[in-house]
Amino acid sequence: MDIGELLSFKPEATPKRSHEDDEDYSPEKPPSRQEEKNNKRLKRIAQAKEAADFAKPEEPIPQLTGVAAALLDPELTNEERMNILKYVESEEAEGDVLDEQGLKKLLLVFEKKNLKNQELRIKYSDNPIKFMDSEVELHSVIQELKAVATVPDLYPVLVELNGIPSLLELLNHPNTDIAVAIVDLLQEVTDVDILGESSDGAEVLIEALRKQQVIALLVQNLERLNEQIKEEADGVHNTLSIVENLTEMNNDIVAEAAQQGLLAWILKRLKQKPPYDANKLYCSEILSILIQTNYDNKLMLGELDGIDILLQQLAFYKKHDPSSTEEQEYMENLFNCMCSALMAKENREKFLKGEGLQLMNLMLREKKMSRNGSLKVLDHAMSGPDGRDNCNKFVDILGLRTIFPLFMKTPKKSKRLLSADAHEEHVCAVIASMLRNCKGAQRQRLLSKFTENDHEKVDRLLELHLKYLEKVEAVDREIDQQPRDDDMDETEEAENNYLKRLTGGLFTLQMIDYIILEISATSESIKSRVLQILNLRGASMKTIRSVMREYAGNLGEDGDADWKEQEETHILSLVDRF
């Protein structure tokens, strides 16, 4: 059946037009200008077909199926009919999969359009109207190149034809619309799901991008983008997405990204006002990726005044709660970045000089959402041998008045983001770090807290001991009941079980029992109170000794070998005295 018959066909049953006298009458809206235009066009086509004697009303109308039936559906609007017509009449059917030959042709067209645009820009540098059309054409062909993202097996062909250098060159194009289009294209071709479909294609593409120092080029482009313009703000977001994709596929890019200027740009971006926006959230996520596992990047962050910048951004949340879940995620990312940065000794010194302890202490007192993150940061700042100065300073700034109320009573769920177990773990770890690191007057002030108010803090300590002992015993029973994995050797299985016990409450129990040993060794009254409560609750001193011997035998790599040996000796001596 030809198109004329389709257009001249009229369904037999037509609904009755509503009249203003009818009860359910509602006036129809007058057709829009576009609808009138489409109606006139349809009429002209129909008249032309009739004049050419294409219409044959005397013949029976055959049964219509497929596109024809859809086109003549009485419920279709004129706009929908026009869309179907365009689809049927279009020379190129959508959805054709790009092949190697198609990619070569597309790249050739791209190179020609790029060269033409460069020539016109040089020739008519003072008259943008002369090269505007060539820029539109170049932008269009870049959009067409996105088709390669659907066939990652063609990435080696793209690289072999030197397509990557040509594309990356346009990141420096004077027109930011072209640069943003290239960023958009790169974001699509580096999508993790797409790269996962072809490991060979992914490897070839990533190596080609690394060879061209793609991160450095992206950072140069970031410097000139104006985020007040929506398209350029999207360009920033897509640039960060490219970095996330590449680092997920190849961890070596984490170090390269920082060295090629991305770390410095992110810190600069975080300093900009307002306190929160969507791209700041993404920046905080990328910053976390860059410094989480790479020690050199942690040091670089400190050298770029990153500790001060993070403290300045966090200071806003001392008296303000985040206004949305996204902003809350941003705040938590900043706290996590600070925790990662404090794994480096040099950054702990900068944190101390930048009055980070004072800010965290004030956040704990303000009882805002930031209290949870500040507790985690204090834990990281004061742990291990590198936390000695921070521990003593925390006592000097009256931090004991802040931390012990949190120790005595875990805040209600509505006033904390952390779980009760996580909250208690951080508080006990902070107190244990102070007992380990504080000397002289600061240590005496700390110990005196456990004897005041009729040893109430010792009572709380034993309450927590019994709570976490029960949790660990439950995990132990679960481990005993689980079937043995034949693919795992005994050493690996023992390590896995120990990690499971640590996350199940053993780490917190170790911190609690360490505090019990430290304070019992300094005061007979405390020790007798501990024994009294243990006897009342039917608990045993042997349990505490056993937990601490296991702890001494599994000290981590936090600090050098000498510190580890000294700490192990110290813990075992406390166990013997207890």
Across 73-89, average pLDDT: 57
The DSSP output letter for 154 is G
Candidate from 43-57, 165-179, 205-219, 265-279 with smallest mean pLDDT = 43-57
Percent of the chain with pLDDT over 70: 82
Write the pLDDT tens digit of every residue in 498-546. Answer: 899 999 999 999 999 999 999 998 888 989 999 998 888 888 888 989 9
**Sequence-ordered list of residues with C-beta below 8 angstroms from that of 528, at least 6 positions apart, any chain:** none
**Spatial separation of the C-alpha atoms in residues 357 and 355, rounded to whole Å:** 5
> How much is the CA Rg of the chain, to the nearest whole Å?
35
**Spatial separation of the C-alpha atoms in residues 420 and 82, rounded to whole Å:** 62
pLDDT at 112: 94
Conformational region of residue 225, where left means phi above 0, alpha means psi within -120 to 50, and beta covers everything else: beta
pLDDT at 65: 44
Write the pLDDT tens digit of every residue in 6-52. Answer: 445 555 554 444 444 444 444 444 555 555 555 655 555 455 445 44
Average pLDDT over the chain reads 85
- Report the candidate in 398, 392, 301, 385 with the shortest Cα–Cα distance to residue 340: 301
- Report the candidate in 221, 223, 288 with the shortest Cα–Cα distance to residue 258: 288
**Terminal CA-CA length for the chain:** 99
Residue 408 one-letter amino acid: M
Cα 216 from chain centroid? 22
Across 264-285, average pLDDT: 95
- Report the candidate in 248, 249, 354 with the shortest Cα–Cα distance to residue 301: 354
Across 402-422, average pLDDT: 83
- The token duo for 364 is 């704990």
Across 397-421, average pLDDT: 85
**Spatial separation of the C-alpha atoms in residues 340 and 186, rounded to whole Å:** 30
The DSSP output letter for 502 is I
Which is more confident, 38 or 418? Answer: 418
- Asked whether the beta carbons of 143 and 133 are under 8 A apart, the reply is no
**Spatial separation of the C-alpha atoms in residues 32 and 562, rounded to whole Å:** 84
**In Å, how far are 48, 55, 79, 306 from 5, measured between CA atoms?**
12, 6, 20, 73
pLDDT at 88: 44
- Report the candidate in 205, 206, 278 with the shortest Cα–Cα distance to residue 238: 278
CATH number 1.25.10.10 given to 98-260: yes
Write the pLDDT tens digit of every residue in 159-208. Answer: 999 999 999 999 999 999 999 999 999 999 999 999 988 889 999 999 99
Which sign, positive or negative, has the C-alpha torsion 384, 390, 392, 395?
Answer: negative
Write the pLDDT tens digit of every residue in 105-158. Answer: 999 999 999 999 999 999 988 888 988 999 999 999 999 999 999 999 999 999
Q: Find the helix packing angle between 400-408 and 356-366, rounded to 10°.
A: 40
pLDDT at 555: 76
- Asked whether the beta carbons of 170 and 111 are under 8 A apart, the reply is no
Across 408-424, average pLDDT: 80
Q: Is the pLDDT of residue 305 over 70?
A: yes
pLDDT at 81: 60
Neighbours of 25 (CB within 10 A): 10
Write the pLDDT tens digit of every residue in 352-365. Answer: 999 999 999 999 99
Confidence band, pLDDT 50/70/90 cuts, at residue 72: low
**Spatial separation of the C-alpha atoms in residues 352 and 74, rounded to whole Å:** 76
**Spatial separation of the C-alpha atoms in residues 564 and 277, rounded to whole Å:** 44
**Spatial separation of the C-alpha atoms in residues 379 and 418, rounded to whole Å:** 14
**Spatial separation of the C-alpha atoms in residues 74 and 3, rounded to whole Å:** 17
Tell me, letter by letter, the H, E, C secondary structure of 31-94: CCHHHHHHHHHHHHHHHHHHHCCCCCCCCCCCCCCHHHHHHCCCCCCHHHHHHHHHHHHCCCCC
Write the pLDDT tens digit of every residue in 309-367. Answer: 999 999 999 999 999 999 999 999 999 999 999 999 999 999 999 999 999 999 999 88
**In Å, how far are 144, 147, 244, 270 from 198, measured between CA atoms?**
21, 16, 18, 36
Residue 340 one-letter amino acid: S
The DSSP output letter for 415 is G
**In Å, how far are 155, 182, 323 from 168, measured between CA atoms?**
15, 7, 39
DSSP state letters, 451-468: THHHHHHHHHHHHHHHHH
**Domain limits of the chain?**
98-260, 271-354, 469-577
**Sequence-ordered list of residues with C-beta below 8 angstroms from that of 339, at least 6 positions apart, any chain:** 376, 377, 380
Q: Is the pLDDT of residue 96 over 70?
A: no
Across 268-281, average pLDDT: 93
